[in-house]
Amino acid sequence: MGNSFSHYFPYIENELHCENVSLKKIAKDIGTPFYVYSKNAILDKINRYKKAFQNYPTLICYAAKANSNLSILEIFRENGLGLDIVSGGELYRGLKAGFDPKKIVYAGVGKTDKELLEAVKAGILSFNVESFMEIEVIDRIAGSLGKKANISIRINPDVNPKTHPYISTGLRESKFGIDMEDALKAYEIALKKKNLNVVGIHCHIGSQIMDVSPYKEAVEKTVELVFKLKKIGIELEHIDIGGGLGIKYRPEDRPPEPEDLARIVIPVVKETGLKLIVEPGRSLIGEAGALVSQVLFLKDKGEKHFIIIDSGMNDLLRPAMYNAYHHILPVTKKKKKVVADIVGPICETGDFFAVDREIDDLQRGDYLAVMSAGAYGFSMSSNYNSRPRAAEVLVDGNEYFVIRERESYSYIIEPEIKALQKTSGEVE
C-alpha cells in the first residue's frame, strides 16, 4: 500500500482508491461531491476498541453525532456496540438501526420534554443528566408514563483536555455537566425521586484528544466521587468516561490508540468494580472517511493561487469552524506541485479547505479527496446556499454501495412547498 496517508485509501497505479475501489470510478458513476467510507477501516477500529477493553466489563457506545448514517449505525450495532445519543433524532435513528435501548445512553444539556418522553418510553440504559432542573423534569415525565427512568449524573471534572477550545467540554466554565462540588447534592436529590433509578456517573472532557493523561485526571476525580457516594450508601452500576480520542489529520500525527486509553483508565475504574462505558465517535469513523470533490476552476490573484472545488463549508464545516486541518490528496497523482488555497463555492471567505497548501498541480475536472472526514463531516453538513447535501458511499473490498443519495433541489424545498400548499388550501 506504499506511502499512502491511510492504509484503507491506497494509491494503486497512481490512482487513489478506497479499499479496492477507484474513487475516480465512483465519481464518474455518481458525480461529486460525495463522502466515501471504508467498511474495513471501521471494522478495524471496532476490533481495536473491543480488544483494548476485552478484559474489563465495558460497553462501547458509539457517539452517533460523529456520523449517524443508518448504514454506518448498523455496522456498529451488528458488531455489538451500544449508542451514545444527544437528541430525539439520534434516538429515532438508533432505534431504526436496531439498537437495543438497553445499550443507549443519552447526554446533552438541553433535552426537550418530547425528547425525554420518547427516550423514557424506549427504556434507555441511562440519561446522562446535566443539570438539577433536568433531574426534576425527567422524574416528572417518567412518573406521567408510570415508568422509572435510569439516570447518571454528568459531572464536570474541570480538566483541560488540551484540545481546541470549541471542543473542550470538561472545563468548569463550559455549559456541560454538574460541577464536582454540587454532584453529591445532585445524587441525593435524584435518589429521593420515585421515578428515577440512579445507575451511574458520566463525564466527557472533550474531543480530538491527542494525549491520554487528562483522562487519568478526569477518571481519578470521578472514582473519588464514586467512593464518596459509596460511603453514604449510594451504589452505582457504571462509570461512563465519554469519548474524545483523537485521530490522524496530518500525516505526522500519531494519535493515541484505544489500548492507550484502556491502559490508563481500567486500573483506576477497577478499584470501584463498576462496569465501564466509553463513548467514542471520531476515533471509530473519522479516518475511515473522505470527501471526494472535483476541481471547477483555477484562479490566480496576485501571489495567490486558488483551486475552486465543487464542495464547500456546507459539506464539511470543520476548516471554517475550527480552522481544522484536513489532509488533501489528488485522486490522480501528478508530478508537478503548486501552492494554493483550496476553496469552495460558498459566498463566505471562511469557505476554505486549505490555505497556502502544497498540492499536486490539479486542473479543471480533476478530483481530490479531503481525508479524515468520516466524523463530523456529513453529520454537520447543511443546505447553505441551497446546496443539496452530498451523497454517501460505503466501500467493502471490491464493491461500493450508495448509503445516502445526493439530495435534489426538490427535496430541499419540499417542506416549503408543503407549507405553501397548506396555506393556500386554508385561504381558499
256 is a site residue for ligand LLP (CB under 6 A): no
Output the smallest distance, CB 424 to ligand LLP, in A.
40
Restricting to residues 137-196, which ones interact with ligand LLP according to CB under 6 A?
167, 169
69 is a site residue for ligand LLP (CB under 6 A): no
Is residue 347 annotated as a catalytic residue, yes or no?
yes
C-beta of 33 vs 177, nearer to ligand LLP? 177
Which one of 23-31, 119-127, 242-250, 363-371 is the stretch in contact with ligand LLP (CB under 6 A)? 242-250
Among positions 33, 281, 289, 344, the unique one binding ligand LLP when judged by CB under 6 A: 281
Tallying the residues shown for the chain, one arrives at: 428
Output the smallest distance, CB 247 to ligand LLP, in A.
9
CB-based contacts of 424, cutoff 8 Å, min separation 6 = none
For ligand LLP, what does the binding mask look like between residues 78 and 107, x meaning CB under 6 A?
------x----------------------x
DSSP letter for each residue of 124-164 = -SEEEE-SHHHHHHHHHHHHHTT--EEEEEEEE------S-
The CA-atom distances, in angstroms, between 29 and each of 263, 318, 367, 406 are 45, 27, 13, 12
196 conformational bin, left if phi > 0, alpha if psi -120 to 50, beta if neither: beta
Which one of 70-78, 135-143, 236-244, 406-414 is the stretch in contact with ligand LLP (CB under 6 A)? 236-244
C-beta of 105 vs 295, nearer to ligand LLP? 105
Is the Cβ–Cβ distance between 321 and 166 less than 8 Å? yes
Cα–Cα dist 124/284, whole Å: 22
Output the smallest distance, CB 7 to ligand LLP, in A.
21
Cα–Cα dist 173/155, whole Å: 13
Which stretches within 31-69 are classed as H helix?
A: 39-52
Cα–Cα dist 402/109, whole Å: 34
208 is a site residue for ligand LLP (CB under 6 A): yes
Among positions 6, 222, 283, 293, the unique one binding ligand LLP when judged by CB under 6 A: 283
Instruction: Locate 215 and state its grid cell.
Output: 483522562
C-beta of 26 vs 375, nearer to ligand LLP? 375
C-beta of 207 vs 222, nearer to ligand LLP? 207
376 is a site residue for ligand LLP (CB under 6 A): yes
Cα–Cα dist 382/398, whole Å: 31
242 is a site residue for ligand LLP (CB under 6 A): yes
Output the smallest distance, CB 264 to ligand LLP, in A.
16
Residue 230 φ/ψ, nearest 5 degrees: -55, -45
Give the DSSP letter of residue 9. Answer: B
210 is a site residue for ligand LLP (CB under 6 A): no
Among positions 39, 77, 193, 318, the unique one binding ligand LLP when judged by CB under 6 A: 318
Which one of 29-37, 40-48, 239-247, 340-348 is the stretch in contact with ligand LLP (CB under 6 A)? 239-247
Number of residues that bind ligand LLP (CB under 6 A): 24
Restricting to residues 106-125, which ones interact with ligand LLP according to CB under 6 A?
107
204 is a site residue for ligand LLP (CB under 6 A): yes
Instruction: Locate 91 and state its grid cell.
Output: 434516538
Buried b / exposed e over 267-304, threshold 16 CB at 10 Å, is: ebbeebebbbbbbbbbbbbbbbbbbbbbbeeeeeeeee
Which one of 24-32, 237-245, 302-310, 394-402 is the stretch in contact with ligand LLP (CB under 6 A)? 237-245
Cα–Cα dist 241/383, whole Å: 34
CB-based contacts of 239, cutoff 8 Å, min separation 6 = 200, 201, 202, 219, 222, 223, 226, 269, 272, 274, 275, 276, 277
244 is a site residue for ligand LLP (CB under 6 A): yes
282 is a site residue for ligand LLP (CB under 6 A): yes
**Cα 175 off chain centre by:** 19
Nearest CA-CA partner of 76 in 36, 126, 39, 123: 39
- In whole angstroms, how large is the CA radius of gyration of the chain? 23
238 is a site residue for ligand LLP (CB under 6 A): no
Which one of 62-70, 89-97, 114-122, 184-192 is the stretch in contact with ligand LLP (CB under 6 A)? 62-70
Is the Cβ–Cβ distance between 388 and 356 less than 8 Å? no
326 is a site residue for ligand LLP (CB under 6 A): no
Residues at the contact surface with ligand LLP, assessed by CB under 6 A: 63, 65-66, 84, 107, 167, 169, 204, 207-208, 242-245, 279-283, 318, 322, 375-376, 380
Catalytic residue positions?
347
